[in-house]
Amino acid sequence: MQDNQMASQPATDSFTTAAWERIASIRASIEALPLLERLSDGTLPPEIFRHYILQDALYLKHYARCLAVVAAKAPDNAQVLRFLGSAQKALNVEQGLHAGFLAQFGITPADVEAAEPSPSGFAYTNFLLATAYHCSYPVALSAILPCFWIYWKVGEAIKNRPLTEGNAFQAWINTYGDPQFAAGAREVIALTDFAARGASEAERTQMLDVFVRASQYEWMFWDSAWNLETWPV
């Protein structure tokens, strides 16, 4: 992925502009991940994608609950509905896109039921849930934002590459490169900026901290799939 594709950001001087700039080195590391390179050209080994998609199915179940907690903390009905809708969409992705991939790559419902989260996936979801439960609405928003924003930029960058005929992962590319997904990400960016304007200085510092940490976990999650990460003991 080219840096100018991943580097798109709000034009105004805002909290999210500063946060996006702060994770420039993390974004560069994400761009360099072999998993994404091989996914985009269809050469990703099936066992790696199986590991990724199974872990992502586990992740989305927890992420949907995290979004529901964020919705419960939202200051108005419009934002409550926005994040309840996001939680529903996360579960729909798990049940739709993932169900197709799980069947395509020979993963049964029993496999999903028996699966354990990888160390990186376990750490990431527990970080998000703890932040959503214990922190303010602006801070919780900042923790969930990297998943929206980074997936949007990754999907957009991959979709803009030359199409590989017969790419087994094209449905994944289409999902995260879809304009509707981009619109949803932009909306969460705008809501985070709005929340930041009313936050205290201490809250804004915490917002940036959790945004960076969640972005680090995004890199770790993909890298862990490439390395077929399991619990070492």
**Going residue by residue through the chain (233 aa), what tens digit of pLDDT does each one get?**
444 444 444 444 699 999 999 999 999 999 999 999 999 999 999 999 999 989 998 998 899 999 999 999 999 999 899 899 888 877 776 667 677 887 888 888 888 888 999 999 999 999 999 999 999 999 999 999 999 999 999 999 998 888 889 999 998 888 888 898 899 899 999 999 999 999 999 999 999 999 999 999 999 999 999 999 999 99
CATH number of 59's domain: 1.20.910.10
- Determine contact, residues 49/158, Cβ cutoff 8 Å: no
Amino acid at 161: R
**Residues 6 or more apart whose Cβ sits within 8 Å of residue 95:** none
Residue 233 lies in a domain: no
Residue 20 lies in a domain: no
Residue 11 lies in a domain: no
- Determine contact, residues 23/16, Cβ cutoff 8 Å: no
Residue 1 lies in a domain: no
Structure tokens at 66: 């995290």
Rg (CA), the chain: 17
Query: Phi, psi (5° rounding) for residue 162?
Result: -55, 135
Residue 9 lies in a domain: no
Residue 16 lies in a domain: no
What's the pLDDT at 13?
A: 63
Residue 18 lies in a domain: no
d(CA 43, CA 87): 31
What's the pLDDT at 94?
A: 61
d(CA 233, CA 231): 6
pTM: 0.90
d(CA 156, CA 116): 30
Residue 130 lies in a domain: yes
Q: How many domains does the chain have?
A: 1
Range of the domain at 172: 27-226
